[in-house]
């Protein structure tokens, strides 16, 4: 039997860049370096849903975590993640090796170690001065985005544990090479 029983969960846009904000994709289809790396390491990929395209559509503006931390968005994240929690239970109970989750650093939803925040990022862009103030208020924070934060909470609630990794597409080459170093160790075990 050739089944490797080695699985990693990946953010949706790592396998389908078409859900990303217009103008952001660094690849035409998938992040193929990552896909090839995982295939070379006999690791199956389970694609997580994309909460932003699901809830806000393909023509959404860029958001910050503060905007998405409202009850409906959080509830939808929970609904989208519930089947994956069930899958994790199922794989674990059947002796599969669950190698973790790969998110997207910088994303207000799927960031793992980095997300974007601002308490002023809302309203319109009619006044130039005011708009500059909003842009200047954007900041990176070393914390997960809302979707990954909820995923981590649901894992704890279900007494499950997974390691979280991330790709940062603003510095894709450095980020992938550091991720590959880490995953080479993780995927060997």
Q: Measured between alpha carbons, how far is 45 from 175 in angstroms, rounded to an integer? A: 19
The reply to whether 109 sits near ligand SF4 by the rule CB under 6 A is: yes
The reply to whether 19 sits near ligand SF4 by the rule CB under 6 A is: yes
Contact 150, 115 (CB under 8 A): no
Q: Measured between alpha carbons, how far is 69 from 111 in angstroms, rounded to an integer? A: 14
Residue from the set 107, 112, 176, 187 that interacts with ligand SF4 by CB under 6 A = 107
Q: Measured between alpha carbons, how far is 146 from 65 in angstroms, rounded to an integer? A: 6
142, burial (CB in 10 Å: exposed 0-12, middle 13-18, buried 19+): exposed
Which x/- pattern over 45-84 shows residues binding ligand SF4 (rule: CB under 6 A)? -----xxxx-------------------------------
The least CB distance from residue 94 to ligand SF4, in Å, is: 27
Return the number of the residue (7 or 80) whose C-beta is nearest ligand SF4: 80
* Partners of 102 in the β-ladder: 10, 165
The reply to whether 105 sits near ligand SF4 by the rule CB under 6 A is: no
Residue from the set 30, 110, 112, 187 that interacts with ligand SF4 by CB under 6 A = 110
Q: Measured between alpha carbons, how far is 135 from 157 in angstroms, rounded to an integer? A: 37
The reply to whether 115 sits near ligand SF4 by the rule CB under 6 A is: no
Return the number of the residue (38 or 110) whose C-beta is nearest ligand SF4: 110
Contact window for ligand SF4 (CB under 6 A) among 7-15, 30-38, 80-88, 170-178: 7-15
Chain mean position to CA 85: 16
The least CB distance from residue 70 to ligand SF4, in Å, is: 15
* Tokens coding 83: 């089947």
The least CB distance from residue 29 to ligand SF4, in Å, is: 14
């Amino acid at each position: 039997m050739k089944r490797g029983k080695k699985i990693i969960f990946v953010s949706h846009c790592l396998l389908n860049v078409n859900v990303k904000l217009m103008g952001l994709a660094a690849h035409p289809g998938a992040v193929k370096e990552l896909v090839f790396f995982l295939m070379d390491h006999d690791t199956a990929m389970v694609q997580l849903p994309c909460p932003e395209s699901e809830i806000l559509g393909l023509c959404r503006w860029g958001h910050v975590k503060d905007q998405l931390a409202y009850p409906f968005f959080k509830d939808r994240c929970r609904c989208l993640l519930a089947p994956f929690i069930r899958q994790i239970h199922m794989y674990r109970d059947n002796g599969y090796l669950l190698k973790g989750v790969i998110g997207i650093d910088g994303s207000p939803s799927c960031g793992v170690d980095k997300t974007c925040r601002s308490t002023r990022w809302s309203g319109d862009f009619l006044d130039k001065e005011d708009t500059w103030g909003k842009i200047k208020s954007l900041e990176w924070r070393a914390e997960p985005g809302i979707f990954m934060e909820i995923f981590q909470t649901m894992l704890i609630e279900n007494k499950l544990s997974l390691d979280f990794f991330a790709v940062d597409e603003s510095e894709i080459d450095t980020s992938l090479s550091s991720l590959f170093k880490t995953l080479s160790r993780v995927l060997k075990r």
